[in-house]
Amino acid sequence: MKILVTGGSGLVGYGLKKIINKYSYDFILLSSKDCDLTNLNETKEIFKLHKPDYVIHLAAYVGGLFKNINFKVDMYEKNTLINYNVIKCCHDFGVKKTVSCLSTCIFPDKTSYPINETMVHDGAPHSSNEGYAYAKRMIDVLNRCYSNQYGCNFTSVIPTNIYGPHDNFNIQDGHVIPGLMHKVKLAMEEGGPSFKIWGSGTPLRQFIYSEDLARLFVWALYHYDDPSPIIFSTDEASEISIADVAREIAKAAKYPKELEFDTTKSDGQFKKTADNSKLKALCPDFQFTPFAEGIQKTVDWFWENYDVARK
C-alpha cells in the first residue's frame, strides 16, 4: 500500500517519519522541493509518478499570528490553490482515501465553547487569520462535494495547535511555541535580548505534540471514513494560557529570569476551546504526550539542532 504525504518535510511530516517504521506501508513524504502544489500541472505529474493508493494531505502555506495578519491574500490564494490541486488529483488519479489537515482557526470567532465539528461554518473566523481560515474551510466543502458527486472517501481532521521538533522556529513567522523557544534561546546568550512575550499572555490554547498527531493521522486513514471533519485534541482541561506556555518553556530551558510581556502587541483570538468527545468515543484508548514532556523534548531538540533548525 502506497501512502503519499504532502508537506512531508514539515512539522507533522517529521512526526510521521518518527513512527512510520512501525507500519508495513510504503510512505512517500513530499517536500516543496519535489513539487509546487500551487501548480496543477506539477501536482498531476507527481501523482502520475507515484500513483498513490492513499494520501495524507499536510501541505499548507503557514505562519504565526503576525504573518496571518499581514499577508491575508497570500494565505488565501496559495492555500486555496494547494488544496484544490491536491484534492482534484486525488479524485482524478483514483486515490482510495484522502485525509487532509485543517486547523481550529477555521471556527467562527463569535461562538459558544467548546467548539465541535458541527460548528465550522456557523460564522466568520477571526479577522486576524481570515485568509488562511477560509481557504482551509474549503477543504471540508470539497470533501463533501466529492463524496456526494463521486462517492470519494475524502475526509479531514482538525488538530489544535501543533508543536514539536522540526518546527519553524522563526520569531516573526513561526507559531507561538517555537517562536517562544527561539526567543528564550537568544535571551540566554551573553548580551542577548530579554525573553519578552508578545501580548498579555492571557489567551488560552490547547496543544498537541507532533508525533501524537502523526499517530492519529494513521488511525484516521484506517478507521475514520466520514467526510465530516474530526477534531484531534487533548481534553478541554488541558487548555493553557500563553503565559503558562512561556513559563513551561522557560523551565525546560532553565531560563533564570522573570518573564516580560509586551502588551502593545496583539493577543489575537482569546480562546479556541475544542471538544474532543468525538475522538474519545471512536479512539478511547489513545494516550497523549504530557505537555511538559513534549515541551522538554522540543526544547532539547532545538538546542541540539539550533544551527540547522528552520528559523
- Distance separating alpha carbons of residues 289 and 139, to the nearest angstrom: 28
Known active-site residue 84: no
CB 27, CB 44: distance < 8 Å = no
CB 197, CB 261: distance < 8 Å = yes
Task: Please state the separation of Cα 88 from the chain's center in Å.
Answer: 22
Residue of 46, 49, 56, 59 whose CA lies nearest to 4? 56
DSSP 128: G
Point out the catalytic residue in the list 84, 132, 224, 255: 132
- Distance separating alpha carbons of residues 169 and 311, to the nearest angstrom: 5
Strands 196-198 and 97-101 come out as unpaired
User: E-strand spans in 9-59?
Assistant: 26-29, 54-57
Calculate the dihedral angle through the C-alpha atoms of 79, 82, 87, 88, rounding to the nearest 10 degrees.
120
- Distance separating alpha carbons of residues 291 and 209, to the nearest angstrom: 8
Residue of 106, 96, 85 whose CA lies nearest to 158? 106
Residue of 138, 43, 60, 131 whose CA lies nearest to 95? 43
CB 169, CB 181: distance < 8 Å = yes
Residue whose C-alpha cell reads 467526510 in the numeric block: 227
Residues acting as catalytic residues: 132
